[in-house]
Structure 1
Amino acid sequence: MTSPDLPPKHPTSPSRLPSALPASAPDLGALVSYLEYDPQPSIVLDPHYQILAANRAYQRQFGVEGQAHVGRKCYQVSHHYDVPCDQAGEHCPMRRAAEVRSADRVLHIHHTPRGPEHVDVELRPIFDAKSEIVAYVERLATVRGASAKPSAEGLVGRAPAFNKAISALQRVAPSMLPVLLLGESGTGKELFAHALHEASERAQRPFVVVDCSGITETLFESELFGFEKGAFTGATSRKQGLVETAQGGTLFLDEIGDVPLSMQVKLLRLIETGTFRRVGSTETQRADFRLVAATHKPLEQMIAAQQFRSDLYFRISAFPIHLPAVRERLDDIPLLADSILQRMASAKHGPLRKPSISADALELLRAWHWPGNIRELRNVLERASLLADNGVIRPEQLPDALRTKTAALVEDVSASGYALPRKLTDEAFVKIAAQFRGKRSELAAQLGMSERTLYRRLKALSIDEDA
């Protein structure tokens, strides 16, 4: 039997052995003993999704007191589904691992004793002497840099586009590859950069932000590299630059597309050689930092227009991550709004208590296209909370432009029923589902929702999707 890299073998604990190990795989008991002493939460699954065994680390982190997970289906435990993940609009790592006969890794949102959490799942098949898959080992790691429920700090979200970005961040964080965060203004690039830093091995070292758009060309070099006493008028003492401040940690170059062309060559040299000189000095200093850059500008177009160096672009874009706009994750609006209101209430300048949002106001927020993204959402909620005298944000407290341009969408459903699917009544939803002829993925696309959301609504309304 072949298996993934595991800790040293220890005696099997009889209480941990499953009672339904496949007869064709008598050596799985040894695998269970390995996993028992693995510090990472791990379970053993059969090819039919049944949990055969769970180590102590899994029971501590994901177990529920008085509820035995062994013998249950993995999708019942982690997602509360009654069908495998791929039938509920999710990526199923077991199906993929069986197809490629190798490991598969995916980021899911699991139900845990602490509520919904982002969990990085790695699943590896176990083969018998005939090269048949007899079981799977699933290892789970909770993602600490993002929250799937309202939070007063950090990244929050659970929409597929958001999860894709978080998954990419988790993969690249342990490495030293330069990361380029791409996305519109207001999508939370600094929060993503900080989450990447916290997930890296440099988390205990400095996280230094360089706002490239806020530094003039004449000051850029001295701010970045520092200067010696007497280097120029007003330099009365030696000053440490931001590169030196980030020693051993992460240097975040925000809006790198605004770096002056004359400075780009010096920035390139810093990245390529790992060295720099303070202004007014001939002594070469060694730099030690993890580079994360971000921009909302189209760098490739800027290269064609000779506004950005192609060699610098290729150095900073080793691992690009697209950060989704709010309109790409509209299902996260309630979660984002709740989190923003929590943060406002906890701030000194915020309201005395966290306001709530009425259902009709929330529908207006979900219907808006949010060109300013999360920054615009925060501004709207800050204004509305000051006008909500009774502690409830209602449509009349929202900006006029937002109300007038979205009210028609909220109140009206087109003849096809697809104008604003989130507002569909249960009766309208049942009617559309009954009349539709095609695949579930096609229905979800026409309704403007994910397959997962469609599956949950079908299940909630007890609609037989096969019918």
Structure 2
Amino acid sequence: MSTDPRYRSLPAISSLLDAIAEPAILMNRDYEICAANEAYRRTFATDQAILNRHCYEVSHGYRVPCDQAGETCPLRQCLDSGQRQRILHIHNTAKGREHVDVELSPIRDDDGEIQFFVEIMHPVNHGERQFEKQMIGFSPAYTHMLELLSRAAPSDISVLLLGESGSGKELAAQYLHSHSHRAANPFVTVECSGLTESLFESELFGHEKGAFTGATHRKPGLVEAARGGTLFLDEVGDIPLPMQVKLLRLIETGSYRPVGSITQKQADFRLICATHRDLPQMVQDGSFRRDLYYRISPFPVALPSLNERQADIVPLATHMLEQLSRKRPMQLSDAACDWLIQRRFPGNIRELRNLIERSILLCDGNVIEPAHLGPDGFADPDLMPDVLPAGDIVALNDLEATYLSRIVSRYQGDNSTLAAQLGVSERTLYRKLKALRDGQ
């Protein structure tokens, strides 16, 4: 071991790592792994030694630190701020690519200088629950959304999910519930769209026997059904204005009164709301209460549309194909993958699922082709995204993926000639095309 004074306490610090259940490592300022616990070794099982290698090499397969590879580096942020850092990263584990909640803490010497870092990795579990099997993605937009959800989930803060129809708002709400301390209790959904004022009140608060014509027995409301768990108000922007004040009172006081009752009841739930509407504009128009808006939106999370998650389209489609065609194993051809990547999806994930279901019915073999996905076997030019939308800032990786997918769809020559025209080797082009199809 080095005689450098900085390393005198290294054995004691290293021994503490084994007391940590999650994967954990000790690093120096040069990104080198000085110690690792058993959980880390299992997670990043490899034929190579772990000690003295760079963290970014083991977890990402990079040759340079994360911040030089287009990602946020917690070690660099920790050095710059001097404070503990937490960020969601995508790591290459023994199980494949996984989202990992990384927590990095600095260790200082006697002079107060940062010399080491303890990095603890909290895996963001996927695939253990039915709904999570549909939450798939590694694009920057998806990862940012997942990081926000992971931060909010353990608390009881009210979350407002914002996104287009079909973008997966209910799946996000279920993720929040399942990763909270209320996970063992009910998750109750209230479909606010289309409910009249009287029906909404009865559904939410319940009613007593004889409260109105047809009320032949007492009916518990959804607030009561959600006791101890999560109440999810889907399309909260559609709640009738007269009912908004009653919902506000429920949130502020934590109590409610069933229709036809004179007795107040106490509520106990975590509130999650979702909408595709522009609530701030509705507040300006007077169709949504300002005070209610601020009550339901202390932690807003924007869900990206599928068009903002281009790198996730093929992995999502492949997963849907596996789920919907279990008895007849099928796969997407390269041409079908290219067709999907070029297409615009105004209906988001729901529209993609419809296309996959349709293709299964139209395909008599085991390989889905463009003709099975669309009526004419090609993407409508009006639905194809511009390579660089006017006024938008596009991630360079996404821009390259979009450009490459469009070039390949129109190019009639061989890969060798195309690679020469693009100024890259044929091997590099092959690697980029494979990454495009795999969503990486």
2:38: which partner in 1? Answer: 56
Deviations 1:218-249 (A, max 9, x none): 21001001111111111111111101000000
TM-score (norm 1): 0.82
1:277: which partner in 2? Answer: 257
Q: What secondary structure sits across from 2:378 in the alignment?
A: helix
Say whether 1:330 aligns with 2:305.
no
Q: Which one of 245, 256, 280 corresponds to residue 300 of structure 1?
A: 280
Matched-pair contact (CA < 8 Å) for 1:275–1:284:
yes
- Cα distance in 2 for residues equivalent to 1:284 and 1:334: 52
Task: Within 5 Å, give how 1:297-376 maps onto structure 2.
Answer: 297-346=277-326, 352-376=327-351
Matched-pair contact (CA < 8 Å) for 2:339–2:379:
no
Task: Call closer, same or farther: CA 1:193–1:24 in 2, change over 3 Å.
Answer: same
Task: Give the aligned residue type for 1:31.
Answer: I
Matched-pair contact (CA < 8 Å) for 1:368–1:402:
no
- Cα distance in 2 for residues equivalent to 1:407 and 1:276: 50
Task: Call closer, same or farther: CA 1:145–1:283 in 2, change over 3 Å.
Answer: farther
- Cα distance in 1 for residues equivalent to 2:39 and 2:94: 14
- Cα distance in 2 for residues equivalent to 1:224 and 1:39: 42
Matched-pair contact (CA < 8 Å) for 1:344–1:354:
no
Q: Which one of 51, 76, 91 corresponds to residue 70 of structure 1?
A: 51
Matched-pair contact (CA < 8 Å) for 2:202–2:221:
yes
TM-score (norm 2): 0.86
Deviations 1:115-171 (A, max 9, x none): 111100011111112222111110100001479xxx982411110000000000111
Task: Call closer, same or farther: CA 1:393–1:152 in 2, change over 3 Å.
Answer: farther
Q: What secondary structure sits across from 2:193 in the alignment?
A: helix
Matched-pair contact (CA < 8 Å) for 2:132–2:175:
no
1:35: which partner in 2? Answer: 17
Task: Give the aligned residue type for 2:39.
Answer: A
Q: What secondary structure sits across from 2:35 in the alignment?
A: strand
Matched-pair contact (CA < 8 Å) for 2:313–2:341:
yes
1:212: which partner in 2? Answer: 192
How many positions carry a matched residue from both structures?
411
Task: Within 5 Å, give how 1:442-457 maps onto structure 2.
Answer: 457=432
Q: What secondary structure sits across from 2:22 in the alignment?
A: coil
Task: Call closer, same or farther: CA 1:265–1:157 in 2, change over 3 Å.
Answer: same
- Cα distance in 1 for residues equivalent to 2:205 and 2:62: 55
Say whether 1:192 aligns with 2:144.
no
- Cα distance in 2 for residues equivalent to 1:419 and 1:41: 36
2:67: which partner in 1? Answer: 86
Task: Call closer, same or farther: CA 1:267–1:429 in 2, change over 3 Å.
Answer: farther
Q: Which one of 84, 101, 109 corresponds to residue 128 of structure 1?
A: 109
Say whether 1:252 aligns with 2:232.
yes
Matched-pair contact (CA < 8 Å) for 2:255–2:267:
yes
RMSD: 2.9
Percent identity over the alignment is 49
Q: Which one of 343, 357, 380 corresponds to residue 382 of structure 1?
A: 357
**5+ long unaligned stretches in structure 1:** 1-18, 347-351, 435-452, 461-467
Give the deviation of 1:392 after TM superposition.
1.6
1:143: which partner in 2? Answer: 124
- Cα distance in 2 for residues equivalent to 1:409 and 1:215: 37
Runs of 4+ in 1 over 6 A off after TM superposition: 407-410, 416-419
Matched-pair contact (CA < 8 Å) for 1:162–1:324:
yes
Q: What secondary structure sits across from 2:175 in the alignment?
A: helix
Matched-pair contact (CA < 8 Å) for 1:110–1:118:
yes
- Cα distance in 2 for residues equivalent to 1:86 and 1:115: 22
- Cα distance in 2 for residues equivalent to 1:21 and 1:112: 34
Task: Call closer, same or farther: CA 1:457–1:393 in 2, change over 3 Å.
Answer: closer
Q: What secondary structure sits across from 1:24 in the alignment?
A: helix
Matched-pair contact (CA < 8 Å) for 1:45–1:137:
yes
Q: What secondary structure sits across from 2:45 in the alignment?
A: coil
1:158: which partner in 2? Answer: 138
Q: What secondary structure sits across from 1:403 in the alignment?
A: coil
Higher alpha-carbon deviation: 156-165 or 398-407: 398-407
Say whether 1:183 aligns with 2:166.
no
- Cα distance in 2 for residues equivalent to 1:216 and 1:315: 22
Give the deviation of 1:404 after TM superposition.
4.6
Task: Call closer, same or farther: CA 1:90–1:23 in 2, change over 3 Å.
Answer: same
Task: Call closer, same or farther: CA 1:70–1:88 in 2, change over 3 Å.
Answer: same
- Cα distance in 1 for residues equivalent to 2:242 and 2:376: 42
Say whether 1:167 aligns with 2:150.
no
